[in-house]
């Protein structure tokens, strides 16, 4: 289908190959390039559409945001133009983060403004809750462990999102990562300059955020970084209860949202949420790092550490796993890096929990050292070696992954059949995966540092951005595997079959590749095919 963007069109739907709208005669191919397929939604300031870029090979999908002012008065048009340029500038500045959509194009046409962004395939958290019901406490802590580092990065760029809510967070199908969208209400600088009354009125109409999620100071046009923390707290309440803030009462004396009767979580988590939802900015968490420090995420350290290392990178490189070129924390604000290092240090000192104890309850997870958490003695000295986890079978691995576990370091998966499994972002550091069958598996951004993969079947696997430093891949079958931007420094590739593999942007030396099998279909790190 080809969709007409004329706001006055009585019937915007047309056949795919139609050049002009059959209802109003408008040209359908926007800027002689973008074919709009369908409407994705409408707001007070414009509409969003799914489109394809006809000028590029494969006609990739993209999202077109049409910013359409409700008035053509000169002051409104100027304000709309300013907001449009501000959103484009902001997206261009922060769009290098892997969990923020990239800005692809922007232009003005017929007094309407268009932003073209990367299309994120997936479902919003609002859609997830409506389809599957509310999250558990464990699920919300997993959510926070991933989204707080993204928010910290956005704030480090002097940007306030101002419209964080479940409908603006998508779980990407490709790798199950959370992506923050819709930066139309952003404030790209924190200023103490007073806003004029006329500007307040205009901005209130178009770019204040969503009532119920926006805190009082934002409604008064004085947003700060902590305003996003409040919206994130309200988002957590929605995820836990399935209720939007408009469906809850407020304390008439204080203006506080009365949410506690709708959620059933630990006392400590209630206190964390209460502080994120303080009406007074002074008493609220001032940053994402502050909220991370306050959260009791000990049972979730695996996923939190993974979220904290999900650092902003150039997408043409994007190793992000702490190899020699990244330093293990490059791109993270120092406070976040310290939190990540603290978590890793505690992990190294802790006994490894049994693989099943972590999932005995959706809301209560045993800590290492507590009854049922581990077998044997607890409180081992720093010099003791960590206990090797019990071996998981294929079914146990899939169940653990689906329940949110991502750390499978030191596990033994020798000779398991994991064909076409989705294990993106999992940590297999120092794990035994000899002769494992991972053909066609999704291992995007997985950590195989120092893992043993000798004789493994990785044919046609997605290993994009995988960290494989010092991994043993001797004799592994990597035919047709996607190793785009993979980090293979010091990996053993002797006898590995890389025929037809895509190594574009991979960190690997010619000496390593000379030990592997390649052919004319192997794509070199520089992006060209041919023998090494």
Q: Is 252 exposed, middle or buried (0-12, 13-18, 19+ CB in 10 A)?
A: exposed
294-298: long-range contacts at Cβ-Cβ below 8 A with a sequence spacing of 24 or more? 295/141, 295/144, 295/269, 296/266, 296/268, 296/269, 296/272, 297/141, 297/145, 297/343, 298/346, 298/367
- Cα 24 to its chain centre, rounded Å, is 40
Q: Is 138 exposed, middle or buried (0-12, 13-18, 19+ CB in 10 A)?
A: buried
d(C-alpha 478, C-alpha 471), whole Å: 14
Tell whether the torsion through CA atoms of 138, 96, 102 and 45 is positive or negative: positive
* Helix, strand, coil percent content, the chain, rounded in steps of 5: 30, 15, 55
Beta bridge partners of 34: 30, 53
The SS3 of residue 24 is: coil
Report the 10 Å Cβ neighbour count for 137. 21
Question: Rg of the chain over CA atoms, in angstroms?
Answer: 25
d(C-alpha 447, C-alpha 394), whole Å: 18
Beta bridge partners of 124: 170
Beta bridge partners of 122: 172
User: Pick the catalytic residue: 53, 163, 228, 407?
Assistant: 163
Query: 163 an active-site residue?
Result: yes
Backbone angles phi, psi at 482, to 5 degrees: -95, 105
Q: Are 33 and 19 in contact (CB under 8 A)?
A: no
Containing 193, the helix (H) or strand (E) segment is: none
**Residue 515 to residues 133, 181, 457, 461, Cα–Cα distance (Å):** 52, 44, 18, 21
Q: Are strands 103-109 and 112-118 parallel, antiparallel or unpaired?
A: antiparallel
Running DSSP on this structure, what letter comes out for residue 366? P
d(C-alpha 251, C-alpha 494), whole Å: 68
Beta bridge partners of 422: 442
Running DSSP on this structure, what letter comes out for residue 245? G
State both tokens at 82.
Answer: 């300013």
State both tokens at 518.
Answer: 């390649």
Question: Which residues does the annotation mark as catalytic?
Answer: 163
């Amino acid at each position: 289908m080809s969709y007409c963007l004329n706001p006055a069109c009585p019937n915007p739907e047309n056949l795919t190959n139609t050049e002009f709208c059959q209802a109003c005669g408008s040209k359908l191919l926007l800027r002689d390039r973008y074919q709009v397929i369908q409407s994705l939604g409408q707001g007070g300031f414009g509409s969003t559409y799914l489109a394809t870029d006809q000028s590029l090979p494969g006609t990739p999908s993209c999202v077109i945001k049409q910013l359409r002012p409700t008035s053509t008065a000169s002051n409104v048009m100027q304000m709309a133009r300013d907001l449009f340029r501000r959103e484009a500038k902001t997206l261009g500045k922060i769009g290098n983060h892997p969990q923020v959509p990239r800005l692809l194009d922007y232009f003005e046409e017929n007094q309407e403004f268009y932003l073209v962004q990367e299309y994120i395939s997936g479902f919003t958290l609002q859609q997830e809750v409506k389809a599957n019901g509310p999250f558990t406490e464990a699920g919300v802590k997993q959510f926070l462990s991933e989204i707080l580092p993204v928010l910290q990065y956005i704030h480090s760029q002097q940007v306030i999102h101002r419209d964080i809510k479940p409908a603006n967070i998508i779980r990407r199908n490709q790798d199950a990562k959370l992506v923050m969208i819709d930066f139309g209400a952003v404030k790209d600088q924190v200023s103490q300059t007073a806003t004029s009354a006329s500007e307040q009125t205009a901005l209130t109409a178009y770019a204040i955020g969503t009532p119920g999620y926006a805190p009082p100071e934002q409604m008064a046009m004085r947003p700060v970084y902590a305003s996003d923390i409040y919206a994130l707290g309200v988002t957590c309440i929605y995820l836990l209860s399935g209720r939007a803030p408009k469906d809850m009462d407020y304390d008439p004396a204080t203006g506080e949202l009365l949410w506690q009767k709708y959620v059933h979580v630990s006392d400590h988590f209630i206190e964390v949420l209460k502080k994120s939802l303080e009406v007074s900015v002074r008493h609220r968490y001032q940053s994402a790092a502050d909220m991370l420090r306050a959260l009791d995420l000990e049972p979730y350290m695996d996923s939190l550490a993974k979220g904290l290392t999900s650092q902003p990178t150039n997408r043409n490189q994007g190793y992000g796993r702490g190899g020699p070129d990244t330093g293990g924390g490059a791109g993270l604000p120092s406070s976040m890096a310290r939190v990540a290092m603290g978590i890793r240090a505690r992990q190294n000192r802790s006994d490894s929990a049994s693989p099943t104890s972590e999932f005995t309850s959706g809301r209560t997870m045993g800590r290492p050292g507590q009854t049922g958490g581990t077998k044997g003695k607890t409180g081992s000295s720093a010099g003791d070696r960590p206990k090797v986890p019990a071996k998981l079978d294929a079914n146990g691995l899939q169940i653990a992954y689906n329940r949110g576990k991502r750390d499978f370091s030191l596990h033994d998966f020798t000779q398991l059949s994991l064909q076409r499994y989705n294990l993106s972002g999992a940590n297999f550091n120092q794990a035994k995966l000899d002769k494992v069958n991972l053909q066609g598996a999704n291992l995007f951004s997985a950590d195989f540092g120092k893992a043993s993969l000798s004789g493994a079947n990785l044919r046609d696997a997605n290993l994009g951005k995988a960290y494989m430093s010092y991994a043993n891949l001797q004799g592994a079958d990597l035919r047709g595997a996607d190793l785009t931007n993979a980090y293979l420094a010091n990996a053993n590739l002797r006898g590995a079959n890389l025929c037809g593999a895509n190594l574009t942007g991979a960190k690997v030396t010619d000496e390593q590749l000379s030990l592997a099998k390649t052919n004319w279909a192997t794509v070199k790190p520089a992006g060209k095919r041919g023998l090494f």
